Structures are given as C-alpha cells and as structure tokens.
Chain A
Amino acid sequence: MCFDCVRWEQDEKWFGSLKQNLSLVVYNQFCKEVIARFKYRGDYQLSYPLAEMLREKLDRLNYDFLVPIPLSPERKYERGFNQSEALINALGRQPLSILTRIHSEKQSKKSRNERISLPQVFQLTDSAAIQDKCLVIIDDIYTTGSTLRHAAKLLKESGAKEVTSLTIARG
C-alpha cells in the first residue's frame, strides 16, 4: 500500500470506501501534455490510444460496471465531452452514468486539505443498479485521490459491493 492510501485508510471516515486504485503511468511532462491535449484542448481521438492502455489492466479486474466521474453541465459544454465517459466509450463499454455533481468549482485550484474536507460533491441518480455490484471508476488522473474517494464512498454507502478505481496517470 502506498503512503497516500495509508493516509486515507487511517481516516475512519474514508476507511474501506475504495478497495484500491490502479494507475498506469506516472504523471510526467509527456503524460501531462497528452492528457492536457485530450481533456483541455478536447482532442477526443486520444481517448482511443489511452483506452487501449486501460484495457489490459481492466481485463484482469472483476467488475460489473464502469462508472465515469461526472462533469458539471457548464464544464461539459465548455469541453464538449466528459473525458472519463470518453475513455469508457473508447473501451467499447457502456458507461454507467449514475453520478452527478453537486458543486462545480474546479478541483485543480484546491489544495489536498481543501479537497478532502469538502462535503459530498456527488449525488447518485439511481442506486438500484449498483446493489451488490463490483464497480470500477474510470478517470484520467489520480492526484490526491479525493475525487475518486468521494465517488467511491457514495457508491459503497449506496449499496455497491466493491469499488475500485483505474486511472491513466498518477500525479
């Protein structure tokens, strides 16, 4: 277990919400440029090679559904697509889009402490679909882990059996 997970797991509020996070690559300069081009410049085509990177790891996981991290409607309009959904689509799977965002401020502008102390940022639109299911959350980057853990905690508390996360990069 890495230091970051130890920190999270020591906090009883977060204990056990996320089974594990898997990231494929370190968030280095090259990776940063690729992800920026994909997500901020909106080069959707990059979802295909990025998804291929995810596929290999994903094939070794046991899961029922892939869950994307949602964007606020304003941000989704601005970018033209949700990068997390795009990755799932590029894998040829149907995203289980059951999370929506309550707050819409930008995560990347906040510190770790600010992020983890936030009240729940997501809400669930349909809890029936996830009862006793194994879920994998797909996203582009794991930075502090706060987004993923917020989502995992909500999914777990709403009845999911197990929640894992898989990201392209680890910040």
Chain B
Amino acid sequence: MRFIIKNSHLHPVFEKIQHSLPVTQIDSIPQPSPNPNFSFNEQLQQLLTGKQLLHDDLEHSIEEIHSHYENGYIQYRKPISYQNNKPFCVRCGNNQFFAHFPCSRCHEEDCAYCRHCIMMGRVSACTPLLTWSGPEFPLFKARNALKWEGQLSKGQEAASNAVKLTIIEQKELLVWAVCGAGKTEVLFNGINEALLFGQRVCIATPRTDVVLELAPRLKKVFPDTTVAALYGGSEDRHRPAQLIIATTHQLFRFYQAFDTLVVDEVDAFPYSKDETLQYAVQQARKSPSSMIYLTATPNKKWQAQCRSGKRNYMTIPARFHRFSLPVPEFTWCGNWEKLVEKQRLPNIVTRWLKERIDAGRQALLFLPKIAKMEKVLPIVQRLHTNIQAVHAEDPDRKEKVQNMREKKTLVLLTTTILERGVTFPNIDVAVLGAEDRIFTESALVQIAGRVGRSADAPTGNITFFHYGKTKAMVRAKKQIMNMNAEARKKGLIND
C-alpha cells in the first residue's frame, strides 16, 4: 500500500502512481480529528485501544480501517523512522537488523523491513502501525477488587505501602526482595488501588513459566477483575482486560497502554540483555504512569544506583517465614573437569552427594554446561539409580521437574535453567564448577535462594564447589550476608 495526500488526508493507493509514497516517506502524517457522528466498529476499538498492530494482525478490510482513520478513530504511525539515515523499528526499537526487498505491496525495489521482530509479522516501510485514537474501550470497573485473606510479613508490609504510594503518585520504584520474600503479595494492595481508580495494569516478566504461575494467583485474588495472560501462543491475545500478565515480548504490540506497569525479574534473561524488550516496556507505558520493578538480584549498575540514591528502591531483606537466608559454603574441589574426563568426581563432591542420598534428602546439583552435565550424570548415577539431569532444550524438561516436585527423583542435575522460579520445598543445593563465567553474582544468589523456601523446612545446605574463587562468588555471598544483617537489624528474622 502507498498513500497520496488529498484534502490534507491520506488516501491509500495500490499502484505506484505519481505523488504516492510509502507511509515511512511521508513527512508528517495528517491526523483527522474525531468525527463525533461516526459510528465506529467496537471490535476495532477493543482490539486497538492501547495497541500498535499491523493490518495483517486484523481481519478487517483496509477500507474499513481507513474509514476509521478518516474519521479520526485510528491513527497511522510510521513503522520505521530514520535517525541520521539509519533505520529504527518503531515497534521493537531495533536499529541494527534491517533488510530490504522488492515489495509487491508498495512496488518499491528496496522496501526496508525489520528482521528483529519479524516473527510477530513483518514491519516494513509501507505497513503503517495502527493505533486507536478514538475514545478508549471502556473497561468493566470492579467496585471491590481485592479478595485476599493472607497476612503480610513486616518486611512485605513496608514494601507493599511503598508500592501503593508509588502507584498513587505515578512514580518509579524498585522492590529488591530476597528469594522467598513473597514479592507477589507485595503488589496486591497497590494493584487494588490502581484497579479501583480504573487504571489499566500490566505485570510483565521475561519468562513464560512465570506468567503461567502468576495468572491463576492474580485471578484468584482479583475475582471481579478481567485478567488476561499473554505469552507466545496464548489464547487471551485479543481479550480486553484491566489486568494483564504478559511476557515482556508481548509488549511489542502495546502502545501507551498502561497506567501501572510492573516488571517482574528485571534481571532475568532475555530482558536484561535485550534492549528492544526494555524499549517495549517504555512504549507500553502511558504518560504519566507508574512503574514497579521487582527483583531478588539487581545488576551491578542498579545496585550502584540504589546506593548512590539515584534510584528509588525498597528492600525486603528477609523471607516471609522469618528465617535467615542460607549462606553459601565455598569448597575447593580441584580440577574437577579433569577428573570427570576420567569418569571420576572430586571426593568431596561425592561425599556431599552420598550424605544426601543416604539420608534420602533431595538435592539439586548445578553444572555450568550441558556437555559437562552429560559426562557427570553417569558418574553420579553409580551412587544411586534415582538421579536425572535436565537442561533447557530437554524435551522431557517439564516431566523431569515434575518428578522432582513429586519426590520421585532424589538428585536432579541441572544447568542454570532452574536457577529461578522453581520451588522444591525441602532440598539441599550444590554448584559444581561455581567458578564458571555463567555463574554470575545474580545467578549464584538465585541458586542459593532455592534452599529453605518453605516455612516447614526453612533451612538447608548450599555449597559452591569450585576450582578457584571468583568475584561473582564472593559478591553473591556478601549480598546474602548483607541482606541477613539488614533483616536482623530490622527485626525481621528470628534465628
């Protein structure tokens, strides 16, 4: 599709006629003001409020969509903008990965397109982004949103108040809560406040499993609110909802949509490494809006910003069950990789495993690489038959984690995929090869955070077997000890 400007409106044309241009080349796109007498399509209103979609995302005809533009109910935005002659994808923020092709839509020989977000439908120079510019789709407003009987711990309560205030004042806040602090509950009062104001709220997280875990919990405590869970392949994609739980990837389709946006696990891959996801989060916010970040392990930069007062933050230094965080033990185990090549393990590691196996106590053993894990597995299996290994690409991943949950597996070998998000109630944890680069400070804090999660079994052993201490190990241990000290000072732990 191309456009010509007639009577200061855009008109779509499908041939390369004189004065017609692909949308990206139009200097400034005229936006008609809303015609109050126009009877708009409510389905389009519902689908496009707070969104940025392509024609390909909608089943409506080009003509119908265009009539909404002409009457001021849909805005056409340029999909690609140029900064110093360099293309920039307005949907995903990519400014590196572009290609071009002879396009049969705009008939240009070199129509540019974004390769970064192409799996969500191709953003090319001739495909306008569609946004609703008429009255917002009205949401059903619950009168009494929150139904939750639970009790907040003292640490949670302080954070909960800070979250609520941040939402009322439309500011930004980082909640730095230790693993097992119960950070989800900390959001309840603040979200309740937002929902009662009639705000649109989103909780975004980099990981699909977190969406799947959070959505039912929130549906339960906000029973009168419309809640939608969005992730690749989810069915709620076009459901209008006041509270949305989404993967950060899904935010590419949103535009100025949320009054309150919570990003859970800000430090988790891929959000932490992918600037386009961070762009997506900013695009999805309304202006003004409030922003809550949650994490157990902020990166170095954020930690420094907290210390220097540049970032508004709140800690929950203690777990909800009032026991201190298990502090990692460092145990030197020599050149374990060399031993593994000879089908052996360092004695000290074997002893650690045997103690657990003899006591019938479940354990997780983290390894830095899949290849290493596959060599270690048969060696460990000599100690006991009930031992499995799991990694990200494992087709039986879900089943193996489930077996561990149901205590059918005694020891589970794993890569960093189980570093966060999973809770096995009563386990010990060890890392073999803790010196590996993959074990960053935050990965190690998260791994240590798998121990002693439940109130029934609040303690346990966490050991880092290493062939040379790293800074990351030392920092991780220090972070945990600092949190314990802070918690003790504030009277948040008993032991």
**B115–A43 CB distance below 8 A:** yes
What 9 pairs across the A-B complex have the smallest Cβ distances? A44-B101, A45-B99, A42-B122, A76-B104, A41-B118, A80-B103, A43-B118, A80-B105, A81-B101
Main secondary structure, interface of B, reads: mixed
Report B's interface with A, CB cutoff 8 A: 56, 99-105, 111, 113, 115, 118-119, 121-122, 124
Q: Nearest Cβ distance between residue A104 and chain B, in whole angstroms?
A: 15
The verdict on A18 contacting chain B, using a C-beta distance below 8 Å, is no
**A80–B104 CB distance below 8 A:** yes
**A80–B101 CB distance below 8 A:** yes
Q: Which residues of B contact A76 (CB under 8 A)?
A: 104
- Cross-chain contact of B102 among A37, A77, A81 (Cβ < 8 A): A81
Report A's interface with B, CB cutoff 8 A: 37, 41-45, 76-82, 86, 89
**Selected A-B contacts with CB under 8 Å, 21 pairs:** A37-B118, A37-B119, A41-B118, A41-B122, A42-B122, A43-B118, A43-B122, A44-B99, A44-B101, A44-B113, A45-B99, A45-B101, A45-B115, A76-B104, A77-B104, A77-B105, A79-B104, A80-B103, A80-B105, A81-B103, A82-B104
With both beta carbons as reference points, the residue of chain A lying nearest to B97 in the complex is identified as: A45
- Cross-chain contact of B124 among A37, A80, A89 (Cβ < 8 A): A80
Q: Which residues of A contact B56 (CB under 8 A)?
A: 78
Q: How far is the CA of A86 from the CA of B56 in the complex (A)?
A: 21
**A43–B104 CB distance below 8 A:** no
**B102–A43 CB distance below 8 A:** no
**A89–B99 CB distance below 8 A:** no
Q: Which residues of A contact B111 (CB under 8 A)?
A: 80
Q: Which residues of A contact B113 (CB under 8 A)?
A: 42, 44
**A86–B101 CB distance below 8 A:** yes
Q: How far is the CA of A77 from the CA of B61 in the complex (A)?
A: 14
Known: A37-B119, A43-B99. 14 other contacts (CB 8 A): A41-B122, A43-B118, A43-B122, A44-B100, A44-B101, A45-B101, A76-B104, A77-B105, A79-B104, A80-B122, A80-B124, A81-B103, A81-B104, A82-B104
Q: Nearest Cβ distance between residue A10 and chain B, in whole angstroms?
A: 39
With both beta carbons as reference points, the residue of chain B lying nearest to A41 in the complex is identified as: B118
Q: Which residues of B contact A80 (CB under 8 A)?
A: 101, 103-105, 111, 122, 124
Q: How far is the CA of A37 from the CA of B115 in the complex (A)?
A: 10
Residue in A43, A44, A79 whose Cβ sees the most chain B Cβ within 10 Å: A44
With both beta carbons as reference points, the residue of chain B lying nearest to A48 in the complex is identified as: B99
Q: How far is the CA of A41 from the CA of B114 in the complex (A)?
A: 11
Q: Nearest Cβ distance between residue A149 and chain B, in whole angstroms?
A: 26
